[in-house]
Structure 1
Amino acid sequence: MRVFRDLFWFFRQEKKAYMTGVLLLVVVAFFETVPPKVIGILVDHMKNGTMTRGVLVRWLAVLAVVAAALYGLRYAWRICIFGAAVKLTRQLRNELYEHFTKMSPSFYQRKRIGDLMAHATNDLQAIQQTAGSGILTLVDSLTLGGFVLATMAVSISWKLTVISLLPLPVMAVATSRYGTILHRRFVTAQAAFSSLNDKVQESISGVRVIKAFGYEKQDVEAFRRQSEDVVAKNIAVAKIDALFDPTIGFLVGLSFFLAVAFGSEMVLTGELTIGELVSFTTYLGLLIWPMLAFGWLFNIVERGRASYDRVRALLAEQDEIHEAPDAIDVPPRGDIEYDIKRFVYPGEMRTALSDIRFRLKSGATLGVVGKTGAGKTTLLRLLLREFDGYDGEIRFGGHDIRSYTLSALRSAIGYVPQDHFLFSASVRDNIAFAQPEAEEKEIVRAAQLAHIHEDILQFPDGYATVVGERGVSLSGGQKQRLSIARALLTNPEVLILDDALSAVDAKTEARILAALKQERRGKTTIIAAHRLSAVEHADWIVVLDGGRIVQAGTHEKLVAEDGWYRDMHQRQQLEAFVEGSQIGGMA
């Protein structure tokens, strides 16, 4: 029953609803003891020949009043207890969602999306069952069982009551043992469901890749095997779950046997009347539900405990990015200075960045180039404070970026990542994501600067066109330009383009860069790229290799000296020349 203790904070929070619900359950349990007593009285009246129309009508009226009261009371306690349980689910779901939004990228490197979704669905449903049906079964089994036992012992025969309840200790031991096994198997089943959830999410997200490689059959087969594993683990849970009812049913039957056998003997000896024995067996029938509920309670509680432990463990995960108590809550402006001795990604051994030192003047444009894996994206992610565990500091406006609040720092930066994520919403909503109150002309202006406006006008519904999940209906270049428009709409102090022009042609790239240069005068821009034409106009360019700066300078300076930059520039010029010649020949 530890889960009830763990959830006590919520029961205290919703004490009015739960106290009202429990009180109503107690009253319901009391009223349920009335009909068996009435039946016994009527049987004795019939046996003794004292039954009259008036007696029958009087006791039938009592039964009618009790039935009406039970109807209303049962409706009321359901509203109180089950309604409160729904509030618990809502509260935990909100906590989880807020927790997910606060966690840094390292958290999502350790966790799988499908597993997180399972926490927010299956686990919360099990917890809701505990706070709703669990409380019901606990209170109802104790109160109804208590009232029935008291009535049987006090008003009929304590001796027969003790004899009839001899099987109960066996039931308590058996259900406790079942509960322990059930908890262990349910934890395994929930983990298997999380893995299946993750498999579905991953396959649906990557369905175009799966189809492109003709991997549909293999993927379906992998899903089938994983699904069978989930079924097998849930069947293992069901096998233990299925033991509760037969065990309890057998022991209840044994109680009936003892009651009828010894009760008949007591009737013959005059210790009981026929009516009292009928009432006693009727009361014993009422005990079937508390006994079954007691077994069901173990099932609900063990499931709820496993799920609540999983959710609390997830919520206990600490974010690696912390704000200082006296953090600056004003968006930074000014020069950006990098002075990083060493940075290693959490959980890895290889150094990602080392000896990174440069100063970027406010309003200047920085180009960051280098081969794949050189550390370009890592350099930019540190400025966004996606990771803090580096030796050194990054200063923005004269202050270490860790001295700003996260909201203040990130509000000054517009970031266009390599992976262009678009929401399943309209084009307008995607562009205005960070500034939903933006006017239509501002949205159009941002789209024009990103050279996506003309494309949008060709869409079926223009700016109202829904792009589909993750922008599935758009080309790579269109997604890139929509992401750029989204960043430009906020007019950030610093605009970061992380290889954000790789999917557009050279002519469109040149137009976008010219528009940015004109529009962002006095604003800082950082461009990471593989194509050197994207950074030729930059005020300063750094070349990364193995996480180090191996070259730095203007385009003219770097082209003039031996090194990676000149070699790559010559190669890309040759590629452009050959490509142009081929196009001209085809024309």
Structure 2
Amino acid sequence: MRIVGAAAASVGAELAGVGLMATAGWLLLRAAERPQLGALAIAIVLVRTLALGRGGLRYGERLAGHRAVLEYVTELRGRIYDAVARRRDALSHGDALSRLVSDVDAVQDAVLRCLLPWITAAVVGLTAAGAAFLVDPRAGAVVLAGLVAVALAGVVRSPDTTGPALRARLAEEADELIGGAPELAVFGATGRFRDRAVATSARIAALDRAAPDGVASAFVAVVGGATALAAGVLTAHRGLPVAAAVVLGLLGVFETAMPAVVAARRWPAARAALARIRDLLANTPDEPAPTGEVRLVRATVAGRVSEVDLEVPAGRKIALVGPSGSGKTTLLRLIEGSVRPTGGAAVAADPNVVRGAFADDHVFTATLRDNVLLGADAEPDDTALAPWLSTLPDGWATELSATTLSGGQRARLLLARARTARPDVLLLDEPVEGLDPATADALLADVLTRPGAVVVATHRLGALPHADEILVLDNGRVVQRGHHDVLVEQAGYYRDHWLSERALDEFARPASAGGRRPGP
């Protein structure tokens, strides 16, 4: 309803402006004829009323229009954020950012800079044509012809539908250039990637410069002036005050048409952005209703995992092992619900019940406490942080960022964050990567003996005797499963990896710790 009110206020403000110009023109020429003051009284009062009304209506239009659009955009941005979160595997960072920012801003522009100007110009133009027809039918026909010519100037355009896609590409290229800066510098590719981003930016700038807003405005001004003069000549027989009112009023009408013509030329880019939003929302699956259980039934993700059966009852500890690329992280994402199966079924629990720590989780530029809590109403779990925490200059208040942490420190922080959430099902992806073997085994053993269910993907096997079940994956398939005591007696990846890990740990253990290095 607010947007309807905004449209009505916009029409009223423009009609008041047109009426103000027409009345003022009539008043000036009529006053030059030196009539009785009473003959001018109504026009004088009308000029004041229209001037005040125009300002008030314009304020109401801006207030109602922006409030309605901003409320809708806020709700829409939340829906898009949810859709991006559920399709994060299908969208690049730059594309997701573009949809959240540029495409949503296009919705605001589509309403405020396209829809409202069109409605206003149409109503004001038709009203002016009708008024001119009442003064002189020939003048009405001329005004209508001028309005049609202006409308055609907005319709005949070179559609720009590439702008949103180019902005998404630029966001992706900027993300690669900034996020991959160290790697690009090492391989000497910074210049090539920078040139690519600069070229995309130049294409966007060229499109913006090519938008013929100035030409369109000049055309409207010429057509409007010619139409106003022609209508003035045709109505001159009604007296100079009437002709002046017609000319000045029509100049105001065609001034109202200028934003509508510019809007018509901007519409194709806005329409492309709206189509991207519709495509995102239409192709995002609905969030499944929480069931409180976690179960995979012949779950398949094309090219990543194949026909995996898994059930995670309350309190069960499950470990996923296998070589890199075997599908461990994908299984965790299936359990989490952020990846949808292409075959079989994945029944995920309430997202508030399942929480995880993944290698690509974000580390904020904030204090250690804020990074661990992330809004959780609880005391932070410091089990994983204890040795490192004591070395920090300001303890929990130490400012951190992703660039100031080592791999081991990052692993400790993400593990502490996941544990602080105290979920019923804890998902961990390589939680001890970057830690020394003794510390890694101790932390992983602590995780596997905590209350609640745990599903952990790890290359480190030292603490897995504490797991209730171990799944060994290879090329997306479960090739072995069972308890540690069973798997360590069976030939295969798990036994081989266990023995090699024990041998390496024994070799690396200092003699002072009671270890003995094997001979050659």
Are 2:358 and 1:411 equivalent residues in the alignment? no
Write the deviation string for residues 152-184 of structure 1: whole angstroms up to 9, x where unpaired. 4545x4445545765544433333212xx3xx3
Matched, 1:378 2:330: yes
1:23 Cα shift?
A: 4.4
1:363-421 per-position Cα deviation (integer Å, ceiling 9, x unaligned)? 45333211112222233333323345365567xxxxxx36xxx42xx333332223232
> Partner residue of 2:363?
422
The Cα of 1:35 is off from its aligned counterpart by: 0.8
Is residue 2:22 matched to residue 1:41? Answer: no
Instruction: Provide closer, same or farther for how the CA distance between residues 33 and 228 of structure 1 changes in structure 2, counting only shifts above 3 A.
Output: same
- Indicate how the Cα distance of structure 1 residues 583 and 423 shifts in structure 2: closer, same or farther if over 3 A, else same: farther
Moved over 6 A (4+): 358-361, 581-584
3-state SS of paired residue (1:472): helix
1:366 aligns with 2:318: yes
* Equivalent residue letter for 2:477: R
Matches within 5 A, 1:360-509: 363-389=315-341, 401=347, 406-407=349-350, 410-433=351-374, 435=376, 437-438=377-378, 442-443=379-380, 446-447=381-382, 449-450=383-384, 452-468=385-401, 471-509=402-440
**C-alpha distance in structure 1 between counterparts of 2:330 and 2:511, whole Å:** 37
CA distance 1:374–1:71, change in 2 (3 Å)? same
Distance 1:14 1:248 in 2: 27
| CA drift at 1:308 | 3.0
The answer (yes or no) to whether the contact 1:17–1:81 under 8 Å persists in 2 is yes
Q: For the Cα contact (< 8 Å) 2:18–2:250, is it kept in 1? A: no
Letter in 2 for 1:488: R
Q: Report the CA distance shift for 1:367/1:205 in structure 2 as closer, same or farther (over 3 A).
A: same
Moved more, 224-233 or 138-147: 138-147
Q: Which amino acid aligns with 1:282?
A: L
Q: 2:288 aligns to what SS in structure 1?
A: coil
Counterpart in 1 of 2:518? none
1:229-284, CA deviations, whole angstroms, 9 ceiling, x for partnerless residues?
22233344x14x34312322332343356457x56xx86xxx35444444443334
Counterpart position of 1:542? 471
Deviations 1:38-89 (A, max 9, x none): 123123x0xxxx46xx74x985995586246424532443333453334323
SS in 2 for 1:533: coil
Distance 1:382 1:565 in 2: 23
Distance 1:26 1:415 in 2: 60
| Structure 2 counterpart of 1:567 | 496
Asked whether the equivalents of residues 426 and 455 of structure 2 are also in contact (C-alpha less than 8 Å), the reply is: yes
> Which AA in structure 2 matches 1:70?
A
Q: Distance in 2 between matches of 1:537 and 1:26?
A: 79
Aligned twin of 2:153: 174
Identity of aligned residues (%): 21
Query: Structure 2 counterpart of 1:535, which letter?
Result: L
Two-structure CA RMSD over aligned residues (Å): 3.7
Aligned partner of 2:254 in structure 1 is 288
| Shift in Å, 1:501 | 0.7
What SS is found at the alignment partner of 2:101? helix
Deviation (angstroms), 1:555: 3.5
Corresponding position of 1:206: 180
Q: How many aligned residue pairs are there?
A: 513
Deviation at 1:289, TM superposition (A): 0.9
Alignment check: 8 A CA contact 1:22 1:77 kept: no
The one-letter code sitting in structure 1 at the alignment partner of 2:51 is L
Give the secondary-structure state (helix, strand or coil) at the position aligned to 2:404. Answer: coil
In 1: Cα distance, 2:134 partner to 2:328 partner: 82
Distance across 2 between alignment mates of 1:246 and 1:302: 21
Go from structure 1 to structure 2 and tell me whether the alpha carbon gap of 1:148 and 1:543 turns closer, same or farther (over 3 Å shift). closer
C-alpha separation between the residues in 2 aligned to 1:204 and 1:305?
Answer: 30
Q: Contact between 2:22 and 2:247, CA under 8 Å: does it hold in 1?
A: no
User: Match of 1:313, as an amino acid?
Assistant: D
Q: Deviations over 1:115-155 (max 9, x none)?
A: 33333333333332343344553354345445544554545
* Amino acid corresponding to residue 378 of structure 1 in structure 2: T
Letter in 2 for 1:524: A
Counterpart position of 2:306: 353
SS at match of 1:419: coil
Q: Are the counterparts in 2 of residues 416 and 500 from structure 1 also a CA contact under 8 Å?
A: yes
Deviation at 1:223, TM superposition (A): 1.0
In structure 1, what is the Cα distance between the partners aligned to 2:345 and 2:269? 47
The equivalent residue for 1:120 is 100
The worse-fitting range, judged by mean Cα deviation, of 505-514 and 551-560 is 551-560
- Cα pair distance change 1:33/1:123, threshold 3 Å: farther
Whichever residue aligns with residue 315 of structure 1, its letter is L
Q: Distance in 1 between matches of 2:17 and 2:343?
A: 67
Could you say which residue in structure 2 is the equivalent of 1:515?
446
Aligned to 2:121: 141
For 1:252, give the aligned amino acid: G
| Cα separation, 1, equivalents of 2:69 and 2:250 | 36
Partner letter of residue 283 of structure 1? G
Q: Which amino acid aligns with 1:191?
A: A
2:516 corresponds to:
none
Q: 1:73 to 1:164 in 2, by over 3 A?
A: closer
Q: Check conservation: 2:27, 2:241, Cα contact below 8 A.
A: no
- Could you tell me how far apart the structure 2 residues matched to 1:16 and 1:37 are? 31
Match of 2:217 in 1: 245
Aligned partner of residue 488 in structure 2, secondary structure:
helix
Q: Kindly indicate whether residue 275 of structure 2 is the aligned counterpart of residue 309 of structure 1.
A: yes
